[in-house]
Structure 1
Amino acid sequence: MSAKILALDTSTENCSVALMIDGRTIARSEVAPRDHTKKILPMVDEVLKEGGITLQDLDALAFGRGPGSFTGVRIGIGIAQGLAFGAELPMIGISTLTAMAQATYRTQQSEKVVAAIDARMSEIYWGQYQRQTNGEWQAIAVSDGQQECVIPPQELAEYLTSKEGVWTQAGTGWDAYTESLDSLPLSMTKGDVLYPEAQDIAVLAQFEWQKGNTVDAEQASPTYLRDKVTWKKLPGRE
């Protein structure tokens, strides 16, 4: 039996919520870069009302743990923690890059996905994924053994370890750094997925629930990948 899971994500320009219950998914999604804090809770109320349940009826609360916008990731995890605390729910963090791989399978049936989110500062958040027979995704190690990384796109080619087959592109990084990424030594096809969606986070969270991979609300943590933010000093500033 599948778990009753509420999922939410605000890690990118997209804001989304999904409820997975009784084998069906109720979802809301809107690209609203500056309105996440206004949109997310009304979306939660809508899907719970449509599903005919309350927060206390859920088994778990899933959230997009990143990578993505620092502010967006913080908003998402903060709201998710608040909801989980109030309803005493365990939490499940899901990679936003893996969620885009799942979305690409949902929309295009692609089983090999290369996901790239524009990380600004001439870098991308990168992940390469192969779908397994049970529906889970295997992340392929890229930079220094990391399965997901932040990296300048022009440096990515030297770290690729899996190049066989045709890979479907997902994420905003492909439009932001077209020249560098299109020159990768991979056979690729364009995809339709730009952002992670809560409905795909809910699917991936089911696998984690079945394996017992949940945490208490106070232990939920983001994945930024970038440890620090760098910027150019303004003229005259020390």
Structure 2
Amino acid sequence: MLLLAFDTATPAVTAAVHDGTAVVAESTRIDARRHGELLLPVIDQVLREAGAAKGDLTAVVVGVGPGPYTGLRVGLVTAAALGHALDLPVHGVCTLDGLAHAARADGLAGPFTAATDARRKEVYWARYDGDGARISGPDVDRPADLAEQVAGLPAVGAGALLYPDAFPLAQGPEHVSAGHLAAVAAERLAAGAELLPPVPLYLRRPDAQVPAGYKAVLPA
């Protein structure tokens, strides 16, 4: 097994190569406005560091969000293109699951929440049990509306760190790591579990929409 994993659902443009047992190479760059520019160079970097060619890969793993439309589609389109060109299966993993896996690896014990910044003063979030399994979500909500649901629970992710009043026990990691995203996929594949399809979890409509009631102009 040799997985190429990447995620563009958050400001982190992150990619990794995983051999089914451990991360072989990983690189992350934080830039919320340059997903399209940074992703392919980051992918090339981790393949070089892993000493692997694209033809050596057995699958592609991509974070499916939730995340903003513009950044998220960069990763998903790239995954689809690579899968088609290399004739590889493409697996989706919830971005919050990768963040939760990183938190558990850092020693976080007990139930907790993971939250990323959804902008518009909202967060994408999910709850996890003591084993790191997702038990609710992902959802998008205003932090103030979550106070009772997350009270007393540790929280990880940029969304939690951004709203300490709602997530008073917020801590790192701040962004998802492709290495942990790949680890989630490798564990599930080894257990024979199904992964998500490479379909985006937007959770809300994009900002750009066709205006309602516009006047059609027909040729004379």
- TM-score, normalization: structure 2? 0.83
| Structure 2 counterpart of 1:176 | 162
Paired residues for 1:65-104 under 5 Å: 65-104=64-103
Listed one character per residue, the Cα deviations across residues 130-187 of structure 1 (whole Å, up to 9, x for unaligned) are 243xxxx32223xxxxx211112222245x3x87xx63321122233222333xxxxx
Distance 1:9 1:36 in 2: 10
Q: Return the offset for 1:74.
A: 0.5
Distance 2:138 2:108 in 1: 22
Q: Return the offset for 1:229.
A: 4.3
Q: Return the offset for 1:212.
A: 5.3
CA contact (8 A) 1:14 1:32 kept: yes
Q: Return the offset for 1:122.
A: 2.5
CA contact (8 A) 1:4 1:58 kept: yes
CA contact (8 A) 1:105 1:111 kept: no
Query: CA 1:150–1:9 in structure 2 vs 1: closer, same or farther (change >3 Å)?
Result: same
Distance 1:203 1:111 in 2: 20
CA contact (8 A) 1:92 1:213 kept: no
Counterpart residue type for residue 140 of structure 1: I
Query: CA 1:228–1:79 in structure 2 vs 1: closer, same or farther (change >3 Å)?
Result: closer
Determine whether 1:221 maps to 2:199: yes
Q: Return the offset for 1:56.
A: 2.1
Counterpart residue type for residue 96 of structure 2: L
Query: CA 1:54–1:38 in structure 2 vs 1: closer, same or farther (change >3 Å)?
Result: same
Give the secondary-structure state (helix, strand or coil) at the position aligned to 1:108. coil
Structure 2: 5+ residue runs without aligned partners?
Answer: 210-220
Distance 1:47 1:156 in 2: 38
Q: How many residues align?
A: 207
Give the secondary-structure state (helix, strand or coil) at the position aligned to 2:165. helix
Q: Return the offset for 1:201.
A: 0.5
Distance 1:222 1:33 in 2: 18
Query: CA 1:153–1:214 in structure 2 vs 1: closer, same or farther (change >3 Å)?
Result: closer
Paired residues for 1:80-229 under 5 Å: 80-132=79-131, 137-141=132-136, 147-157=137-147, 160=149, 167-182=153-168, 189-210=169-190, 211=192, 213=194, 220-227=198-205, 229=207
Identity between Structure 1 and Structure 2 (%): 29
Counterpart residue type for residue 181 of structure 1: F
Distance 1:201 1:214 in 2: 12
Q: CA RMSD in A?
A: 2.4
Structure 1: 5+ residue runs without aligned partners?
Answer: 142-146, 183-188, 232-238
